[in-house]
Amino acid sequence: MPWMKGYPYYLLLSGTISLYMGIFACRFRRLPGRRYAWVLLLLIASALVLTAAEIMASSFKIKLLMRNLQQLPLLFIPLFAYAAVRDYVSPLPSRFRRKLTLLSIPLVLDIAFIFTDPYHHLIRSSVGLVNTGGIIGIMVQPTLLSMALIAYDQVFGLYAAYLFAVSLRNVPEHKLKLNVLLLLGMLISVISSIALPALKITFTGFTVLTLLPSVAVVYFAVNRYPQLSPVPSVSDRLLGSAIEGMVLTDRNGVILSINETGEKLLTRMFGPVPFHWLGLSILSFLRQYPSILGCYENRQGGRIELEPAEEESLYCSISLIPLEGSPEEGAMLLMISDCSDQKRYERELEYQASIDDLTGLYNRRHFLNTFNSREHREGEGMAMLLMDIDDFKQINDAYGHLAGDQALVSFSRKVLNFCKNGAIAGRLGGEEFVLCLFARNEAEAVDKAEAIRRAVVGYTVMLEGGHSIHLTVSIGMIYTEDPDTPFEQLYRQADEALYLSKTNGKNKVTVGGHFSVS
pLDDT tens figures, 141-167: 889 999 999 899 989 989 998 988 888
Buried-state track 313-334, b at ≥16 Cβ within 10 A, e below 16: ebbbbbebeebeeeebeebbbb
Beta strands in 358-472 (DSSP E): 381-389, 424-429, 432-439, 460-462, 468-470
Q: Pick from 184, 157, 4, 130: which is nearest to 76 by CA? A: 157
d(CA 188, CA 186): 5
d(CA 78, CA 157): 5
- 200 CB burial (10 A radius; 0-12, 13-18, 19+): exposed
d(CA 293, CA 230): 31
- Residue 202: CB atoms within 10 A of its CB come to 11
User: 3-state class of 316 per DSSP?
Assistant: strand
Q: Which are the contacts of 256, defined by CB distance < 8 A and separation ≥ 6?
A: 31, 32, 248, 249, 250, 278, 328, 331
Q: Alpha-carbon torsion 483, 486, 491, 494, what sign?
A: negative
- Residue 475: CB atoms within 10 A of its CB come to 27
Alpha helices, DSSP H only, in 26-92? 37-56, 60-89
Helix (H) or strand (E) holding 230: none
d(CA 268, CA 304): 17
Answer whether 461's CB lies under 8 Å from 406's CB. yes
What architecture is the 355-515 domain classified under in CATH? 2-Layer Sandwich (3.30)
Catalytic entry in 431, 442, 444, 464: 431
Do 355-515 and 234-343 fall under one CATH topology?
no
- All structural domains of the chain with their residue ranges: 2-224, 234-343, 355-515
Helix, strand and coil in the chain, % to nearest 5:
55, 20, 25
Q: Which residues pair with 302 in a beta bridge?
A: 320
d(CA 214, CA 42): 12
Q: Which are the contacts of 361, defined by CB distance < 8 A and separation ≥ 6?
A: 355, 367, 412, 415, 416, 425, 426, 427, 433
Strands 509-511 and 473-480: parallel
d(CA 268, CA 50): 45
d(CA 473, CA 55): 96
Fold of 234-343: Beta-Lactamase (3.30.450)
Residues of the chain with pLDDT under 70: 1-5, 32, 91, 172, 174, 196-203, 205-206, 219-242, 307-314, 324-329, 341-343, 345-346, 351, 465, 513-518
Q: 422 to each of 374, 382, 384, 436, how far by Cα in Å?
A: 9, 11, 13, 9
- 424 CB burial (10 A radius; 0-12, 13-18, 19+): middle
Alpha helices, DSSP H only, in 271-386? 283-286, 290-297, 340-354, 364-372
Residue 431 known to be catalytic? yes
Q: For residue 102, what pLDDT is reported?
A: 95
